């Protein structure tokens, strides 16, 4: 039976009204579906491939110490360094006098620094200085000119300057030999103490950039590419794998690469961390992400404690006791057993991290007890997350 013209008009109007609504329903993984997730900038989750720091290191001498330097027992390399230093200054010590050198005001150290990307000649960087001998403190010392080399044994910077140990000290009493120490006095920093002498070229492709995620994840890589394409209004980014996202630089922006990279770094994207529980048994620390979920499980936790107390009781002879009576010592032992009475906590399926913590706190679980409980829950197959034990 055909519908009336009035009914057909109503159906047509309903279809016209509902069609736009149905077309805007977000699908799984769409930006609208990820609005509830925390967001971060591209520069916070990834780095441009090829733009990196380089490690530098070198052997040096710290002088000017107040008797806290290397001792003669382990200062053969310190004596050799001091002899070579004096020789370069035109002072040649006889071999029989070199062994008599006192190195208590000198310390052999290793100096390390990080050469930033795009560092130019004359740029200054901080230097970390660490004792390699048996010096007790670097307080008040001065680092002599120390060449800093890279992995290719080429010198890229030269370091020198006053060593700061951040308020640390080490004091030894002369009579008793007791020592008082604050912080770590055998390592210090020379602020701005290294001057860059050789530049490291950082080749950056002006036509195509590669962004490497700090924590590889397929979901984050796909969302990063989608967010960049949405911000620039064109498909210029695509995820190559779980770590790398390829970004094509448009022609007009190739001449202004710095501005283009700055725009890409400011793009925000929703991040999705995997469900993971990190446990440090040495310190009793438990860290759980917000994606951790549990299946329905019942948890019971109880402690059995046994107390054993022993004490000596003295039994003396009564007054006017016959000769030969002696005092007797009797050992009295008390044994007590106490078992905590706790209930059975039921955690429903799909419980969040807040529900898990509340349920475990309700049965009086300490952090170390929580570690054992989480391991048992994982063993039972009810913990829908990765359990990493440090």
Q: Into how many domains does the chain fold?
A: 3
Q: Which of 50, 51, 44 is nearest to 264 (CA)?
A: 44
Residue 102 included in any domain: yes
Same domain? 111 vs 133? yes
% of residues, the chain, pLDDT over 70: 67
Same domain? 191 vs 125? yes
Same domain? 281 vs 255? no
Same domain? 58 vs 190? yes
Same domain? 254 vs 345? no
Same domain? 286 vs 264? no
Same domain? 96 vs 219? no
Which residues touch 160 (CB under 8 Å, ≥6 apart)?
Answer: 142, 143, 144, 145, 146, 190, 193
Same domain? 247 vs 356? no
Q: pLDDT tens-digit profile of 298-327?
A: 766 665 444 445 566 666 777 766 776 676
Tokens coding 350: 């799909």
Residue 8 included in any domain: no
Supply the pTM of this predicted model: 0.62
Domain limits for position 377? 277-309+333-389
Q: pLDDT tens-digit profile of 2-28?
A: 444 443 443 333 333 333 333 333 333
Residue 6 included in any domain: no
Residue 173 included in any domain: no
Residue 172 included in any domain: no
Output the tens digit of pLDDT for each of the chain's 390 residues: 444 444 344 333 333 333 333 333 333 344 444 445 678 899 999 999 888 899 999 999 999 998 888 886 666 777 788 888 888 888 887 776 666 677 788 899 999 999 998 889 999 999 999 998 888 889 889 999 999 999 999 999 999 999 998 765 566 555 555 566 666 788 999 999 999 999 888 777 788 999 999 988 899 999 999 999 999 999 999 999 999 999 999 988 888 889 999 999 999 998 877 788 888 877 777 787 777 777 776 766 665 444 445 566 666 777 766 776 676 666 665 655 455 555 555 555 556 666 666 666 666 667 777 777 777 878 877 777 878 887
């Amino acid at each position: 039976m055909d519908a009336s013209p009035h009914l057909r008009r109503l159906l047509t109007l309903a279809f016209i009204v509902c069609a736009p609504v149905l077309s805007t329903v977000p699908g799984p993984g769409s930006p609208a579906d990820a609005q509830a997730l925390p967001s971060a900038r591209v520069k916070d989750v990834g780095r441009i491939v090829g733009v990196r720091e380089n490690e530098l290191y070198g052997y040096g001498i710290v002088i000017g110490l107040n008797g806290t330097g290397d001792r003669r027992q382990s200062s053969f390399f310190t004596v050799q360094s001091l002899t070579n230093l004096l020789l370069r200054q035109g002072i040649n010590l006889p071999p029989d006098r070199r062994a008599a050198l006192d190195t208590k005001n000198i310390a052999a150290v290793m100096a390390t620094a990080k050469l930033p990307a795009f560092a130019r000649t004359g740029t200054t960087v901080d230097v970390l200085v660490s004792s390699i001998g048996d010096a007790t403190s670097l307080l008040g010392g001065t680092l002599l000119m120390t060449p800093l080399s890279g992995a290719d044994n080429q010198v890229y910077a030269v370091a020198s300057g006053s060593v700061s140990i951040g308020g640390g000290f080490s004091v030894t009493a002369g009579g008793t030999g007791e020592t008082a120490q604050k912080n770590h006095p055998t390592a210090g920093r020379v602020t701005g103490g290294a001057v860059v002498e050789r530049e490291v070229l950082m080749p950056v492709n002006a036509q195509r950039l590669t962004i490497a995620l700090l924590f590889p994840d397929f979901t984050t890589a796909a969302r990063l590419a989608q967010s960049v394409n949405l911000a620039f209004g064109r498909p210029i980014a695509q995820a190559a794998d779980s770590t790398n996202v390829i970004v094509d630089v448009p022609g007009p922006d190739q001449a202004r690469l710095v501005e283009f990279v700055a725009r890409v770094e400011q793009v925000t994207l929703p991040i999705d961390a995997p469900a993971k529980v990190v446990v440090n048994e040495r310190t009793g620390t438990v860290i759980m992400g917000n994606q951790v979920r549990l299946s329905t499980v019942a948890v019971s936790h109880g402690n059995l404690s046994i107390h054993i107390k022993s004490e000596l009781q003295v039994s003396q002879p009564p007054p006017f006791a016959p000769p030969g009576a002696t005092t007797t010592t009797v050992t009295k032992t008390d044994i007590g057993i106490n078992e905590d009475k706790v209930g059975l906590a039921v955690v429903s399926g799909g419980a969040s991290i807040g529900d898990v913590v509340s349920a475990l706190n309700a049965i009086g679980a300490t952090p170390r007890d929580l570690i054992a409980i989480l391991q048992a829950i994982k063993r039972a197959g009810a913990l829908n997350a990765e359990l990493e034990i440090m």
